[in-house]
């Protein structure tokens, strides 16, 4: 089954304790991205990766890191989590959208990771 898999689904941690949220897709997608969702704010992009060679900041990258060592995986790393990073996080993927294949492809989302930092 074609899907984007995030782990864990739920995570409770304490301030300053490094954590990683994993994201893997099995659709051979070039593009991957991380979002956070907060009530009343919609989704805000944290980082995105056009392909394994290109990764860039989104709108709210502070406090986060990402890695794209291979096409299928795009982990989100919080080196020193703080309570303001308590949120619902989504990983998403799609084809390369720079005018080639998949120009009209939507994003495919994972099931989300609900993170609480105390």
Binding interface with another protein (CB under 8 A): 31, 33, 40-45, 48, 50, 58-59, 90, 92, 94, 97-98, 103-112
State whether the Cα torsion 116-6-108-97 is positive or negative: positive
Nearer to another protein, 36 or 72 (CB): 36
In the complex, the smallest distance separating the C-beta of residue 16 from another protein, rounded to whole angstroms, is 29
In the complex, the smallest distance separating the C-beta of residue 27 from another protein, rounded to whole angstroms, is 13
C-alpha 54/C-alpha 32 separation (Å) is: 10
Strands 42-51 and 31-38: antiparallel
Nearer to another protein, 50 or 77 (CB): 50
Nearer to another protein, 50 or 52 (CB): 50
Establish how many alpha carbons lie within 13 A of residue 22's alpha carbon, considering only the half-sphere containing its beta carbon.
9
Nearer to another protein, 37 or 80 (CB): 37
C-alpha 115/C-alpha 118 separation (Å) is: 10
In the complex, the smallest distance separating the C-beta of residue 102 from another protein, rounded to whole angstroms, is 10
- Closest to 55 in 3D by CA, of 64, 63, 45, 47: 47
In the complex, the smallest distance separating the C-beta of residue 91 from another protein, rounded to whole angstroms, is 10
């Amino acid at each position: 089954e074609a899907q984007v898999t995030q782990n864990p689904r739920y995570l409770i941690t304490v301030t300053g304790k490094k954590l990683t949220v994993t994201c893997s897709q099995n659709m051979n997608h070039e593009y991957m991205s991380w979002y956070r969702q907060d009530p009343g704010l919609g989704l805000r992009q944290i980082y995105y990766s056009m392909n394994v060679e290109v990764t860039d900041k989104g709108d709210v990258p502070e406090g986060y890191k990402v890695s794209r060592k291979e096409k299928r995986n795009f982990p989100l790393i919080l080196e020193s989590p703080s309570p303001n990073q308590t949120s619902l996080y989504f990983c998403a993927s799609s084809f390369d959208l720079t005018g080639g294949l998949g120009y009209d492809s939507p994003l495919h989302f994972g099931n989300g990771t609900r993170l609480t930092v105390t």
